[in-house]
Amino acid sequence: MSPLPLLLPLLLLLLPLLNMEPARATLIRIPLHRVQPERRTLNLLRGRREPAEVPKLGAPSPGDKLTFVPLSNYRDVQYFGKIGLGTPPQNFTVVFDTGSSNLWVPSRRCHFFSVPCWLHHRFDPKASSSFQANGTKFAIQYGTGRVDGILSEDKLTIGGIKGASVIFGEALWESSLVFTVSRPDGILGLGFPILSVEGVQPPLDVLVEQGLLDKPVFSFYLNRDSEVADGGELVLGGSDPAHYIPPLTFVPVTVRAYWQIHMERVTVGSGLTLCARGCAAILDTGTPVIIGPTEEIRALHEAIGGIPLLAGEYIIRCSEIPKLPAVSLLIGGVWFNLTAQDYVIQFAQGDVRLCLSGFRALDIASPPVPVWILGDVFLGAYVAVFDRGDMKSGARVGLARARPRQADLGRRETARAQYRG
């Protein structure tokens, strides 16, 4: 996970001036919450390589247990949830990031001049009876900042799961202003093991290996209603049918590092086709927007009337939103449509209203095909089920239209765990 430039927080300050169903599965929810905006992009240049062959991991069987983590969201920009580390648990808020694979939080032993550390909750090893020292140094380079620290081992509490022994990072130095203004304390990576710094086993793998989670499967439901505190849910072990409108469309993961799939085409209304020869698409919960190649994103903004602002940002005339064309993504032979309400990020403060495009440009050197990153603008409209697979089936991603929040709440009492095989 790598922070994008800090333009969005500055804009906010300037506003006043300008689906088979397993039987009897248990649902444990991890809420998501809203957070101070932190624009970031996936740093594909850090450790970007073809992963080595790894065992295929997979589909849930009857009786699977699901863990639900409620999520929070700040103005459709970033989602985070709560975890605990140590005995008794010390509570932290973390971004659940499919674009990285390590867990880290600030340390009570952090450097005196590391400002972000002092503005967040810090892990105290002396306050945990289950703490085990490791001491291996780690460093993670993000797009606009770096985290340095040491590895430690302790118990993880997440949703209804307790007692998982995990190796995590205690951050001793956070070099970027992005970490200062970001409300979450740290990051919990949900990417593949090959992305993990220092070869640390990712938390998801630990939960499965220690028998605390039946399968390496999880799903995100991101609530895009910025007027309410509820940001949605992270579901560990499967998916909840109350979150989406069936069916789920499954597509294979093409590179087992980031959650990368093949996208056949992108259209803007009936007059513009992008990704015409196919492209790679990475599903990244840590990126708030949709990112594509510079020339194609420029053409897209010409088609929707985007006005260039700064650092790749485009303003959309708020009054034009009802007239804007749909942007449609062809994935697995199915069209996934985004309306302007989906892809325009709207902010209001008092009588001032600002509408920003949810598309950004970034050229990622990854031949032979262009790379797009489908962040929260897409994942808010469509629930994604991330399935690492097993020895019989490869990794895959399932997509289905997110159910409107009101309908979701109405179905919650009768909803049961569902996983489409």
Of 233 and 43, more confident: 233
Burial (0-12, 13-18, 19+ Cβ within 10 Å), 406: exposed
Q: Which residues of 67-101 are buried (b: 16+ CB within 10 A; e: fewer)?
A: bbbbbbbbbbbbbbbbbbbbbebbebbbbbbbbbb
User: Tokens 């992005």 sit at which residue?
Assistant: 178
Highest mean pLDDT among 64-73, 167-176, 293-302: 293-302
Judged against a pLDDT cut of 70, whether residue 263 lies above it is answered with: yes
137 within some domain: yes
Q: Are residues 285 and 208 in the same domain?
A: no
Determine contact, residues 308/288, Cβ cutoff 8 Å: no
State the Cα angle at 69 between 23 and 139, rounded to 5°.
Answer: 125
As a whole number, mean pLDDT of residues 47-54 equals 34
285 within some domain: yes
Residue 68 pLDDT: 64
pTM of the model: 0.83
Residue 70 pLDDT: 63
Residue 314 pLDDT: 94
Judged against a pLDDT cut of 70, whether residue 25 lies above it is answered with: no
Judged against a pLDDT cut of 90, whether residue 321 lies above it is answered with: yes
Q: Are residues 287 and 345 in the same domain?
A: yes
Q: Are residues 251 and 393 in the same domain?
A: yes
Q: Poorest-confidence range of 76-80, 139-143, 240-244, 279-283?
A: 76-80
Judged against a pLDDT cut of 50, whether residue 408 lies above it is answered with: no
Distance CA 286, CA 280 (A): 18
For 384, the 3-state DSSP assignment is strand
Q: Are residues 271 and 207 in the same domain?
A: no
Residue 173 pLDDT: 86
For 234, the 3-state DSSP assignment is strand
Q: Are residues 386 and 267 in the same domain?
A: yes
Domain count across the chain: 2
Q: For residue 355, give both structure tokens.
A: 């509408």
Residue 196 pLDDT: 94
* AA identity, residue 22: P
Q: Poorest-confidence range of 31-40, 204-213, 343-352, 364-373?
A: 31-40
Of 261 and 413, more confident: 261
48 within some domain: no
16 within some domain: no
| Percent of all residues in the chain with a pLDDT value above 70, rounded to a whole number | 75
Q: Are residues 113 and 158 in the same domain?
A: yes
Task: Report how far apart, in Å, the C-alpha atoms of 221 and of each of 218, 226, 335 are.
Answer: 10, 14, 19
Q: Are residues 145 and 250 in the same domain?
A: no
Where does the pLDDT of residue 319 fall: very low under 50, low under 70, confident under 90, or very high at 90 and above?
very high
Q: Are residues 154 and 252 in the same domain?
A: no
214 labelled catalytic: no
97 labelled catalytic: yes
Where does the pLDDT of residue 34 fall: very low under 50, low under 70, confident under 90, or very high at 90 and above?
low
pLDDT in tens, 328-364: 999 999 999 999 999 999 887 778 888 999 999 988 8
CA atoms within 13 A on the CB side of 233: 27
Q: Are residues 161 and 199 in the same domain?
A: yes
Of 411 and 209, more confident: 209
385 within some domain: yes
Residue 69 pLDDT: 63
Judged against a pLDDT cut of 90, whether residue 402 lies above it is answered with: yes
Q: Are residues 209 and 317 in the same domain?
A: no
279-283/371-374 β-pairing: parallel
Where does the pLDDT of residue 71 fall: very low under 50, low under 70, confident under 90, or very high at 90 and above?
low
173 within some domain: yes
Q: Are residues 298 and 365 in the same domain?
A: yes
The answer for residues whose C-beta is within 8 angstroms of residue 390's C-beta and 6 or more apart is: 56, 57, 58, 59, 215
Task: Report how far apart, in Å, the C-alpha atoms of 330 and of each of 44, 85, 131, 268, 306 are.
Answer: 23, 41, 48, 12, 23
Active-site residue, selected from the candidate residues 64, 76, 97, 185:
97
As a whole number, mean pLDDT of residues 272-280 equals 96
Highest mean pLDDT among 74-78, 326-330, 361-365: 326-330
Q: Poorest-confidence range of 7-11, 15-19, 192-196?
A: 15-19
Question: What value does the mean pLDDT of the chain take?
Answer: 80
420 within some domain: no
As a whole number, mean pLDDT of residues 238-265 equals 94
Where does the pLDDT of residue 78 fall: very low under 50, low under 70, confident under 90, or very high at 90 and above?
low
Provide the residue range defining the domain that includes 135: 28-36+64-213
Residue 36 pLDDT: 38
Determine contact, residues 181/102, Cβ cutoff 8 Å: no
Active-site residue, selected from the candidate residues 148, 284, 376, 387:
284
Of 364 and 190, more confident: 190
CATH, residue 115: 2.40.70.10
Q: Are residues 92 and 193 in the same domain?
A: yes
The answer for residues whose C-beta is within 8 angstroms of residue 10's C-beta and 6 or more apart is: none
- Residue (of 73, 111, 112, 75) closest to 93 by Cα position: 73
10 within some domain: no
